[in-house]
Amino acid sequence: MTDSAPVAPLRLRPRDRDAIVSSLRAGVVPQRGFAHIQVGRASEIAAFARDLDRVADGGSMVRFVIGDYGAGKTFFLHLAASIAQEKKLVTARADLTPDRRLQSSGGAARALYAELIGNLATRSTPDGGALPSVVERFVATAQSVAGSGGVSVSSVIAERLADLSQMTGGYDFAHVIGQYWAGYENGSDQLMADAVRWLRGEFTTKTDARNALGVRTIVDDANVYDMIKLMARFVRLAGFAGLLVCFDEMVNLYKLANTVARNGNYEQVLRIVNDCLQGRAAGLGVVFSGTPELLADTRRGLYSYDALRSRLAENNFAVGGLADYTAPVLRLANLAPEDVFVLLTKLRHVYAGGDPARYLIPDEALTAFMSHCAQRIGDAYFRTPRTTIKEFINLLAVLEQNPGAGWHAIIGQVDLAPEANPDLEPLPEDDARPLAPVTVLRPGGGDDDLASFRL
């Protein structure tokens, strides 16, 4: 393992190099440039690519990406979205937060939908904000069909959206798309903007939506998932292969202190699982990410909901190093030492801007750094590579700014600690309460018969 893996002589633009380095140094996933730092997980990626092919063929899929804190779940979701865009799927992703949930009565579910649609991305618009271009593509296709068939564009749009009208909320959805075309045809930018606002879930009252577009419904907490299914159908009509939706930070459902609210969200998860496993959500793929505690905790996790526990139960035969990559639960395997070495070579390459002449450390420094990590935090640097990546970038930063410093001495000073999993911190009602002293009187009386203890 002393020879570095061959690195393609690919130069990085300073802007891309700086974006990747600054993101990794902060412990977050860069928005682009995944190919420069991706290592390992070949089996998981291959299984996910097969899932995406099924979605592109009009099917559906659901996955739960499970890994330890800092194991690379968010990176895997970004990588999956990148693969999906290459397969001509539209992607949408959102982090669940206390104010953005799958089920709510106070606007949190609508906020989650607005975040998803705001992050809608395609291969040509990978940074989000792709909804207007998707609608424009659908309208342009309708114009082309109308021109070749000698019919009106409105009739073509109505015919192509007829199937949506059979779905929950589909009639108003189709009407809004028709209003977008009416605004385009009449030169009304306001009408087009209002149609996009409705699709984004930005109308807060039905009165405003009726006055602007003539519809009687809006996107609200009760119909968020129905709108996601409609969007999956619509993007296929617009010429894309399907829709991939990624939900990150599922731990925020696990941390809900209110049992009713937590179970309500798990019911929505169950609904998504049922639809995707039974093929009732054409062209839709959904990915959730979370920690093992989120999945397996029978008191608060997904396994606390019996219906989810039965559907997400893992293959009993996948033991002793065997894996089943077709089950809904996809566990991220640990990186092998060889994978970590290749990762460090890629990080060195990126930090040098793709120029081997600017490498700050030789190959032997990489093996020395790995040995130091193994001594300080054990196998955690295989399971949770985020800490290793951050500290390696910090090491390169010091060497770059202090040319006279030697890497031998600096590596020994790197202070590493295992990633702390906040999912395992006590939840609000689990916090220990002050113990009150209780005094009891023993039969017989007298001072000697008093005893104190704590409950």
Q: Indicate if 385 and 417 belong to the same structural domain.
A: yes
The pLDDT of residue 271:
96
Q: Indicate if 315 and 297 belong to the same structural domain.
A: yes
Q: Indicate if 176 and 271 belong to the same structural domain.
A: yes
**Backbone CA torsion sign across 105, 106, 108, 109:** positive
**Got the DSSP string for 35-90?**
GGT--S-HHHHHHHHHHHHHHHTT-EEEEEEE--TTSSHHHHHHHHHHHHHHTT-E
Q: Is residue 1 part of a domain?
A: no
Provide the pLDDT confidence category of residue 142 given band limits of 50, 70 and 90.
very high
Q: Indicate if 192 and 290 belong to the same structural domain.
A: yes
Last residue of a domain, one of 271, 298, 331: 331
Q: Indicate if 158 and 69 belong to the same structural domain.
A: yes
Q: How deeply is 325 buried, as exposed, middle or buried, from its count of CB atoms within 10 A (0-12, 13-18, 19+)? A: middle
Distance from first CA to last CA of the chain, Å, rounded?
Answer: 58
Q: Is the distance from CB of 43 to CB of 49 less than 8 angstroms?
A: no
Q: Indicate if 358 and 212 belong to the same structural domain.
A: no
Q: Is residue 189 part of a domain?
A: yes
Q: Is residue 451 part of a domain?
A: no
Q: What is the pLDDT of the chain when averaged over all its residues?
A: 84
Q: Indicate if 150 and 296 belong to the same structural domain.
A: yes
The pLDDT of residue 398:
84
What is the mean pLDDT of the segment spanning 271-298? 93
Written as six digits, the tokens of 217 are: 């419904």
Q: Indicate if 169 and 136 belong to the same structural domain.
A: yes
Provide the pLDDT confidence category of residue 416 given band limits of 50, 70 and 90.
low
pTM beyond 0.85: the answer is no
Return all residues near 140 (Cβ < 8 A) that are at least 6 apart. Answer: none
Beta-bridge partners for 65: 289, 330
The domain in which residue 360 lies consists of 337-423
Q: Indicate if 368 and 324 belong to the same structural domain.
A: no
> In what helix (H) or strand (E) does residue 16 lie, and over which residues does it extend?
helix 14-25
Last residue of a domain, one of 331, 346, 381: 331
Q: Is residue 13 part of a domain?
A: no
What is the mean pLDDT of the segment spanning 208-236? 94
Lowest mean pLDDT among 67-71, 86-90, 210-214, 443-447: 443-447
Q: Indicate if 379 and 314 belong to the same structural domain.
A: no
Q: Indicate if 325 and 365 belong to the same structural domain.
A: no
More confident residue, 426 or 259: 259
Q: Is residue 9 part of a domain?
A: no
Provide the pLDDT confidence category of residue 377 given band limits of 50, 70 and 90.
low
Q: Indicate if 276 and 417 belong to the same structural domain.
A: no
Count of structural domains within the chain: 2
Rounded Cα–Cα distance for residues 368 and 10 (Å): 26
Q: Is residue 18 part of a domain?
A: no
Q: Is residue 444 part of a domain?
A: no
Last residue of a domain, one of 331, 351, 383: 331
Q: Is residue 454 part of a domain?
A: no
pLDDT exceeds 80 at position 417: no
